[in-house]
Amino acid sequence: MVSHAKTVAVTLLACGLCAPAAAETVEWDFTGELPRFEVTSRGGAYDALAAPGGHFELEAELRIGDLPGEARVRSWTFGPAIAVKYPGELAVEAIDLVTYAAKQSYDAPLPATVDETLRTPPIPTVILTHRLIDLCRTLADKLRLQGKSDAEIFGSDQELSLQVFARVTVEYSWPGGNPRVYGFADPMAENATLLCRGS
């Protein structure tokens, strides 16, 4: 198993009346192997996903720390997503995988902190087929705008950087107070790969 040894600096998305320290209470590291996808081409066009019958899972270490005011954790959701980074451009979200989020709820007594290894449900590669093919086709269009011919583009493999990130929501409870849901996002991503194969 490969560990991506980087503690994520999280960004608070929605916090209500939480304390300033709340943005520092949730962190996670992706662990294990990240996916590698391949799209094949024929006749100068990307047209199929290699091994569409497979699936992949994402694994992470999730840590939820103390929040002031005797807060307790009622539940959390870890929703993965994938961004694409074309050469010379900023990464933009390309695939939302929230349907395959990892989730956990707790019974009383509720924990004040959480330190767990999580794993998403199996994600069928086939659901990404059209989007991944589109990403390769967009790359080909960008390369054509740079003056490259189809012979150059499809004469060799082209590689795209995919960045796996997550949105985490945590529901907290306070004694005598209403539960509140806080959202956190990972602005730093782990690199996966999309290989756009030549003909």
20 exposed, middle or buried (CB, 10 Å; 0-12, 13-18, 19+)? exposed
For residue 135, is it within any domain? yes
**pLDDT tens digits along 96-116:** 999 999 999 999 999 999 999
Q: Please report whether residue 4 resides in a domain.
A: no
**Residue 3, in any domain of the structure:** no
Residue 2 scores a pLDDT above 60? no
| List of residues 6+ apart from 13 with CB closer than 8 A | 167, 182, 183, 184, 185
76 located within any domain: yes
What's the pLDDT at 46?
97
In this structure, is residue 95 part of a structural domain?
A: yes
Q: Answer whether residue 153 shows pLDDT above 60.
A: yes
Which of helix, strand or coil describes residue 131? helix
| Owner of token pair 């002031």 | 68
Domain contains 146: yes
Q: For the chain, what is the domain count?
A: 1
Distance (Å, rounded) from C-alpha 16 to C-alpha 74? 17
CB crowding 163-187: b at 16 or more within 10 Å, else e: bbbbbbbbbbbeeeeeebebbbbbe
Residue 1 in any domain: the answer is no
Segment 4-15 shows an average pLDDT of 35
Taking only the tens place, the pLDDT of each residue in 54-98 is 899 999 999 998 877 788 999 999 999 999 999 999 888 889 999
Domain enclosing residue 159, as ranges: 11-196
Residue 6, domain member (yes or no): no
Question: Residue 148 has what pLDDT?
Answer: 96
Arithmetic mean of pLDDT over the chain: 85
Phi-psi region of 137 (alpha: psi -120 to 50; beta: other; left: phi over 0): alpha
